[in-house]
Amino acid sequence: MLFPVAVLNYLDRMIVATMRASIRADIPSIADDADFGVLMAAFMWVYAFLSPAGGYLADRFNRRWMVILSLFFWSAVTWLTGHARTFQEMAWARAFMGVSEACYIPAALAMIADYHPGPTRSRAVGIHMSGIYAGQALGGLGGYIADATSWRNAFYWFGGAGVLYALFLVCWLRDAERRAESGASADSLTMGAAIKGLFGATGFPMMVLYFTLPAVGGWAIKNWLPTHLATAFGLRQGPAGLSATGYVTLASLLGAVLGGVLADRWMRISRRGRIFTSALGTALCVPALLGLGFAPSLAIALGSMALFGLGFGFFDANNMPILCQIVRPQYRATGYGVMNLVSISLGAGVTWGLGALRDHGVPLGVAFALSALASALAATLVLRLRPSVEMSVAIRG
């Protein structure tokens, strides 16, 4: 039931990047690419800063209602975005979407971890993350919808679908029983106690840094790859948007599922199996980003995009399972929210900065190549993580 929510989560946030030309043509007050970068970054900054609060609410209260209300409100905001007429209205719509989406991912992943306490955890998270990648891929349809009808219709149609699905979840989605893997309760958890508990856990600060570094290349690809393909290889916005989302995200979908299966099997041999799988995926992103940045042809660029997607899928499928090996169950959603705060804040800065650099004539390919350094550092860093023996025994048991 969460798979379609994951699809809509990323579809609704990604379609704006694939309809850049149509939106700018229809709203002249979006003056340049730096302004367009602000539209994408506005969502990310709000989403980032509210993610810890969204995670805390999911830990403290009912995860089911956090998922349902988040889907309902971001879908309503998506529908309203189609009515925006000025740069300011678009910016406010994107910011409000950040408010409503901040509660979903931490709550959903914590709910999945509650349902899957042992050897199926990475696979379950991987299947859910594949829904996110499916949403990214479908986001490429935005360019075609904009070319065929109007960019506004994409917001109307997908926003309406989300509102209807939220009503379905009211009837059918149920919270998992909170399994006491560490014998602690979240009934009286305060935000301060949650933050103290997180940063008191050995390895959590390193986990935050590891989660953040791949965001440099990840967000550059998510928000600026359609523009890069259109500029570097002369593609129209429809083919550029579908290629940018399709090749990366379909490979990521496959990577998330395979990475989950591999990690769960590796855990039978070593309690660091999920760490090893994640490190492998992050390492694959390094040659992929270098290839994308220096690609002499569209074919090489597409191959690099597929390799990046495969590696990033390995990475994404194992972040929450690794977090579960480091922090106690009552801190999981809050911990993922804190990780989102740091990672997406950096991604928002990268998104805005690339727009500004492009206005000054710096090719986007240079940024993709340089981001490989961050992925290389992340692959090295995660291997230094040592999961808690207590958490690992509970998970593997």
> From first to last of its 397 residues, what are the pLDDT tens digits of the chain?
999 999 999 888 878 877 888 898 899 898 787 788 788 778 878 888 999 999 999 988 888 999 999 999 999 999 999 999 999 999 999 999 988 888 899 999 999 998 998 789 999 999 999 998 888 778 777 878 888 889 999 999 999 999 999 999 999 998 877 554 444 455 567 888 889 989 988 899 999 999 999 988 888 887 778 777 888 787 776 677 667 767 887 899 999 999 999 999 999 999 999 999 999 999 999 999 999 888 888 889 899 999 999 999 999 999 999 999 999 888 999 999 999 999 988 877 877 787 777 777 777 778 888 889 999 999 999 999 988 744 554 444 4
User: Looking at residue 204, what is its pLDDT?
Assistant: 94
7-10: long-range contacts, CB 8 A cutoff, minimum separation 24: 7/131, 7/132, 7/134, 7/135, 7/138, 8/71, 8/75, 8/135, 8/158, 8/161, 8/162, 8/165, 9/71, 9/74, 9/101, 9/104, 9/105, 9/132, 9/135, 10/132, 10/133, 10/135, 10/136, 10/139
Query: Tokens representing 73?
Result: 């409100």
Cα distance between residue 153 and residue 155, in whole Å: 5
> At 233, which amino acid appears?
F
Cα distance between residue 151 and residue 24, in whole Å: 11
Q: Which residue ranges make up each domain of the chain?
A: 2-173+188-396
Cα distance between residue 108 and residue 3, in whole Å: 10
User: Looking at residue 84, what is its pLDDT?
Assistant: 92
User: Looking at residue 244, what is its pLDDT?
Assistant: 73
User: Looking at residue 364, what is its pLDDT?
Assistant: 78
Cα distance between residue 295 and residue 304, in whole Å: 8
Give the homologous superfamily in CATH for domain 2-173+188-396: MFS general substrate transporter like domains (1.20.1250.20)
Give the H or E element holding residue 69. Answer: helix 63-81
pLDDT digits over 21-63, tens only? 889 889 989 878 778 878 877 887 888 899 999 999 998 888 8
- Nearest residue to 359 (alpha-carbon basis) of 240, 231, 233: 231
Quick check: 97 and 77 in contact, CB under 8 A?
yes
